[in-house]
Structure 1
Amino acid sequence: MDITGRTIFIPGATSGIGRALAIALAERGNTVIVGGRRRELIDDLRSSHPGIDGVEIDTSDAASIERAAAEVLERHPGLDVLVTMAGIMNAEDWTSPVGFVDSAERTVTTNLMGPIRLIGAFIEHLLTRPAATIMTVSSGLAFAPLAATPSYNATKAAIHMLSESLRLQYAGSPVEIVELVPPAVQTDLMPGHADNPQAQPLDEFVDEVMAILERDADVREVLVERVKFLRHGEARGDYADVVRTLNSSDPHAGRRGAR
């Protein structure tokens, strides 16, 4: 993925990893458009970083995605990168019938249908570009489960396999698929994440991601060092130990692989 001179849309970029990634990409001379549900957060980011544009979008709403896509393409017809960043993460108790189905539906709608609909809204345009990139965002939890977040784990595993499948379908086309696989990062994705000492500091994570992208323009999976513990457990043959460590009684260890 070339990260110079691109026009990049990142929905879910008004906070956390998306926001930090948007700023880092803009600082490298790219045209960056952020998307989010809250206009005040978009305006705050645009005012603090005048080169960044923004649109309102709710990635859990199909109509909102269509409206935002039309707005982005009207204002930025040179768009050649889509980063499907938006996601939610909820703790769920599947031993009780109360609540987990609603949570699971919200998680699937946002984390899986959101990226699918985003790709559907932009793919016709991206296929017309000389070179284009779709960056999906999975998680270390796509490869080893955190007991507290079944639906999140499942959607991120689905995003990984979707990325693998689309890479096959788009072979020979101008569109490349790059999968970003975060470990636990200090953001507000879940209560306690931002203060979790076992999670990777946000700036450190984004710096490492940018270094990988600058070093390897052909990278397929963006894997910072901290996520390799989860990503390669099965290949190393220590998957059971990885799952045990991830879900240990240590309150911080259970979040090592969560984004």
Structure 2
Amino acid sequence: MSGQPGRTLVTGASSGIGLELARQLAQAGVPVLALGRNVERLQALQKAHPLVDTTACDLRDVAALPGLAALWAARYPDLGCVIHCAGVQHNLRLDAVDYGAANVRAEVDINLVAPMVLTQALLPHLLAQQQALVVHISSLLAYVPKSRGAVYSATKAGLHLFGDALRVQLQGSGVRVVEAVMPMVDTPMTAGRGRNKLPAAEAARQIIAGLATHKSRLWIGRACWMPVFLRLAPGLLARAMQQD
């Protein structure tokens, strides 16, 4: 990937888009630090790609992230890109009987709090690089929510605004903040839902290609129509998002 700064840390790298990002970056010659919770999948990834180092990490343990970030920065001085890809979505209404406070907390911690804390912890290291990247894997639901995903939508909206605020704070530095807005992608998280889903491998390919364009916001797959619909037909877009 042209202009890719150093080693790339990818969260959620044991499945879905994160796994494909780790694979494709390594195949392109980019060293990767892959984080995930599934140890067996991480081991298989590392075995298949010599440029990939892996670490089992549960992002729900937010308090542990600053210490881990310090270890990673010391171990990998070439670390220059962080891709926040890990995510969890419970496809349920907020009043569903089997959706409790622990589920809400897990979604918020993994989708929003962990990226914030991890970015904060790694920021001094990233600012010391000539160029660096912080990439948020966002969603159409950050812009138009759906009824069976209130908390997920809220976390992605928060991640969107966090990225915008961080971009303003870092103006004039060598750290670039990018939001990649995804349509529904064919991953374990979306199994059994939706039609015409974007394959995870294609989503990863478009993200990597987009990072070389130096754009601050990447509209992936069918999400490329989002700016047009938001401007010309927001009501139609909102109704379409409720179909899932």
Instruction: Tell me, yes or no, if the aligned pair for 2:91 and 2:149 is still in contact at 8 Å.
Output: yes
State the AA in 1 paired with 2:225: F
Q: Displacement of 1:233 after TM fit? A: 2.5
8 Å CA contact 1:57, 1:68 repeated in 2:
no
Deviation track 1:22-62 (CA, whole Å, cap 9, x = no partner) reads 11111221111101123222111101112211112111112
The equivalent residue for 2:235 is: 240
Q: Percent of aligned positions with the same letter in both sequences?
A: 29
Q: Is the 8 A contact 2:145 2:153 kept in 1?
A: yes
Contact 1:55 1:68 in 2 (8 A): no
Deviation at 1:210, TM superposition (A): 2.7
Is the CA contact 2:27–2:49 (under 8 Å) kept in the aligned structure 1? no
CA distance in 1, matches of 2:107, 2:236: 27
**Which SS does the other structure have where 2:189 is aligned?**
coil
Distance 1:233 1:95 in 2: 30
Contact 2:180 2:220 in 1 (8 A): no
Conservation of the 8 A alpha-carbon contact between 2:14 and 2:36:
yes
Equivalent-residue separation in structure 2 for 1:91 and 1:212 (angstroms): 29
**223, 230, 235: which one pairs with 1:227?**
223
User: 1:207 maps to what in 2?
Assistant: 205
* Alpha-carbon offset, residue 66 of structure 1: 2.9
Unaligned runs of 5+ in 2: none
1:116–1:4: structure 2 CA closer, same or farther, 3 Å change rule?
Answer: closer
TM-score (norm 1): 0.87
Aligned pairs for 1:36-185 within 5 A = 36-95=36-95, 99-185=99-185
**Greater share of residues in strand:** 2
Retained in 2: the 8 A contact 1:179–1:222? yes
Q: Post-superposition shift, 1:2?
A: 4.7
- Rounded to whole Å, the distance in 2 between the matches of 1:62 and 1:145 is 26
Tell me: CA distance 1:100–1:241, structure 2 relative to 1, closer, same or farther (3 Å): farther
In the TM superposition, residue 111 of structure 1 has moved relative to its aligned partner by 0.7
Give the partner amino acid of 1:57.
Answer: C
Q: Secondary structure at the match of 1:80?
A: strand
Secondary structure of the structure 1 residue equivalent to 2:207 = helix
Give 1:245 shift: 1.5
The count of aligned residue pairs is 244
Instruction: Give the secondary-structure state (helix, strand or coil) at the position aligned to 1:138.
Output: strand
Aligned to 1:34: 34
Structure 2 CA distance for aligned equivalents of residues 96 and 226 of structure 1 = 30
Show structure 1 runs of 5+ residues with no match. Answer: 249-253, 255-259
Tell me, in whole angstroms, the C-alpha distance in 1 between the residues paired with 2:140 and 2:234: 13
Inter-CA distance 102–86: structure 2 relative to 1 (3 Å threshold):
same
What is the CA distance between 1:113 and its match in structure 2? 0.4
